Amino acid sequence: MGKHLLRDLDGLKKELLTSGSLVEEAVNDSIDALVNRRMKLAKEVIEGDYEINQRENKIEEECLKLLALHQPVAGDLRFIITVLKVNNDLERIGDLAVNIAERALYLSNNEPLKAVLKFPRMADGARKMVRKSLDALIGMDTKLARNVLTLDDEIDDLNREMYSTLQVIMRENPETIDRAVHILSVSRYLERIADLSTNIAEDVVFMVEGELIRHKAVDSS
Amino acid sequence: MGKHLLRDLDGLKKELLTSGSLVEEAVNDSIDALVNRRMKLAKEVIEGDYEINQRENKIEEECLKLLALHQPVAGDLRFIITVLKVNNDLERIGDLAVNIAERALYLSNNEPLKAVLKFPRMADGARKMVRKSLDALIGMDTKLARNVLTLDDEIDDLNREMYSTLQVIMRENPETIDRAVHILSVSRYLERIADLSTNIAEDVVFMVEGELIRHKAVDSS
C-alpha cells in the first residue's frame, strides 16, 4: 500500500469515528430529551443534524477522491466501499435521532405516560450497537461484529414488549392513544437504529471474511 | 471509456433494472395481498425476497469487480458508486414489502378494518417513485429525478391522513387497536419506501449535476 493511501485511509477512519460519536450522542440526547422532557435538548438534536449531514457529504466526497486518486484494489477497495455504506447508515441513524427528538417535543407538551420509562434500556442497547459496529469496522474485528448481531435480538424483544404494553394502555384508556402512537414510533425508531447497526456489523464481516451473513432473516416487528 | 467498461456498465444497468422490477412487483403484491386478503400472495412476497437479496449481493460484487478491473474515474466512478447505493436502497424496499406482507397475513386472519382501503393510492404512488427514480438513474435524467421528490410530499400527506383516521377509529372503538397498529405500520412502511426512492432520486441529481439536494429536510411523520 502506498504511503499516501495509508495516510488517507487513516484520515478517513478518523472522520468516520467522529461522525459515529456525533450520531451516538444524538441518539443519547434524543432519548434524554424524551424521558426527562428536556425540550431545549430536543431542539439541539434537531439543529445538530445539519453537521452530521455535512459530514456525511464530506466523507462521501473523500471516498470518491481516494478511489479516483489511488485506484485501490482488493482489501483497500473493499474497505472504502464499506466506509461509503457505513457513512450512509450513520446519517440515517442521525435522522432517526431527529425523529425521536421531534416526538420528544410533542410528548413534552402533553401529560407523561409511564411507558416512556422503558426507553433508556433500549436506547442504551442501540447506542452500544452503533459504537461496537464502528469499533468492529475500524479494528476489522469480526468477533465484535458478530457480537453486535446478538444485541439486536434484545432490542427486537424490547420493541415487541413496548408494543404489547402500549396496546394494553390504549385499550384501557383511549385518551392515551395519541401519545401512545408517538411512543410506539420512538420504539420503532430505536429498533431501526439497531437494524442499521446490524447492517454495519454485517458489512464488516463481509469485508473481512468475504462471508455474507446478511439476509439471513427479515425483521418482522 | 474502454469497450469492455462500456459493455460491463450496460450489463450492470440491466441487472439493476431487473432488481427494480422485482422490488416494484413485491411492493405491488404485498399491498394487493393486504387489501384483498390474499394470504397465498403474501407468502409469495415473503419467499420472493430471497431472490431480491441474492441479486443485491451479485450486483454489489459486480460493482466491486468493475472498480478493481477498470479503475474508472470521474463520471464512471460516480455512476458505479451510485449503483452501489441504489442497489442497497432497493434491497431495503424489498424488505419493507416483506414487512407489509407479514402484516397482511396477520390482518387477513382478523375482521377487516375499513381504513385498509386507502392503501392502493399510497402504494401506487410509492411504486411510481421507485420506478421513476430508477428510470432517472438509467437515463441520467435529473428532471425526472426532481419530479420524484415532489411525489414524496403526497405520500407524506397520505401517511399523516392515515394516522389521523386510525387514531379516531381506535378512540371510538378500542377493540380495533391491535389491527389499527398493524395498519399504521403498513402506512409507515409505504412512507419509508417513498423515502428510499427519494434517496435514489437525490443521488441521481448529485451524480449528474454534482449538486447536493439531499438533507434539505428530515421527515417528521
Q: Which of B84, B184, B215 sits opposite A81 (nearest CB)?
A: B84
CA distance A101 to A117: 16
B90 assigned to some structural domain: yes
Q: What's the total number of domains in chain A?
A: 1
pLDDT band of residue A118 (cuts 50, 70, 90) is confident
Which chain B residues contact residue A174 at CB under 8 A?
A: 170-171, 174
B84 touches chain A (CB under 8 A): yes
A200 assigned to some structural domain: yes
A131 assigned to some structural domain: yes
A92 assigned to some structural domain: yes
**All three cell numbers of A218:** 427479515
Q: For residue B112, what is the domain's CATH number?
A: 1.20.58.220
Read off the DSSP letter of residue B117.
G
Q: What is the pLDDT of residues A78-88, one digit of tens each?
A: 999 999 999 99
A71 touches chain B (CB under 8 A): yes
The pTM assigned to this predicted structure is 0.87
**All three cell numbers of A58:** 464530506
A220 assigned to some structural domain: no
Boundaries of domain holding B134: 3-209
Share of residues in chain B with pLDDT > 70 (%): 94
Asked if the model's pLDDT at residue B44 lies above 90, the reply is yes
Q: Which of A63, A167, A220 sits opposite B102 (nearest CB)?
A: A220
A215 touches chain B (CB under 8 A): yes
Q: What is the pLDDT of residues A135-156, one digit of tens each?
A: 999 999 999 999 999 999 999 9
Q: Which of A57, A88, A167 sits opposite B177 (nearest CB)?
A: A167
CA distance B168 to B183: 13
Share of residues in chain B with pLDDT > 90 (%): 76
Cα A21 to chain centroid distance, Å, stands at 11
Contact A77 B85 (CB under 8 A): no
Which residue of B181, B187, B207 to mutate against A (max A Cβ within 10 Å)? Answer: B181
Q: What mean pLDDT comes out for the span B191-213? A: 88
Asked if the model's pLDDT at residue B216 lies above 90, the reply is no
Contact B57 A212 (CB under 8 A): yes
| DSSP secondary structure of B36-66 | TT-HHHHHHHHHHHHHHHHHHHHHHHHHHHH
Q: What is the pLDDT of residues A21-41, one digit of tens each?
A: 999 999 999 999 999 999 999
B173 assigned to some structural domain: yes
Choice between A96 and A118, residue whose per-residue pLDDT is larger:
A96
Read off the DSSP letter of residue A185.
H
The pLDDT, as a whole number, for residue B218 is 42
Which chain A residues contact residue B98 at CB under 8 A?
A: 218, 220
Choice between A96 and B220, residue whose per-residue pLDDT is larger:
A96
The pLDDT, as a whole number, for residue B220 is 39
The pLDDT, as a whole number, for residue A3 is 79
Phi-psi region of B73 (alpha: psi -120 to 50; beta: other; left: phi over 0): beta
Which residue of B43, B76, B81 to mutate against A (max A Cβ within 10 Å)? Answer: B81
* Contact predicate A56/A88, CB 8 Å: yes
The pLDDT, as a whole number, for residue B14 is 94
Q: Pick the residue from chain A with its C-alpha nearest to B213.
A: A57
Q: What is the pLDDT of residues A56-68, one digit of tens each?
A: 999 999 999 999 8
B217 assigned to some structural domain: no
Which chain B residues contact residue A171 at CB under 8 A?
A: 174, 177
Q: Pick the residue from chain B with its C-alpha nearest to A69.
A: B73
Asked if the model's pLDDT at residue B22 lies above 50, the reply is yes
Burial of A10 (0-12, 13-18, 19+ CB in 10 A): exposed
CA distance A137 to A151: 17
* Contact predicate A201/A86, CB 8 Å: no
pLDDT band of residue A220 (cuts 50, 70, 90) is very low
Which chain B residues contact residue A55 at CB under 8 A?
A: none
- Quote the mean pLDDT of chain B: 90
The pLDDT, as a whole number, for residue A211 is 63
B169 assigned to some structural domain: yes
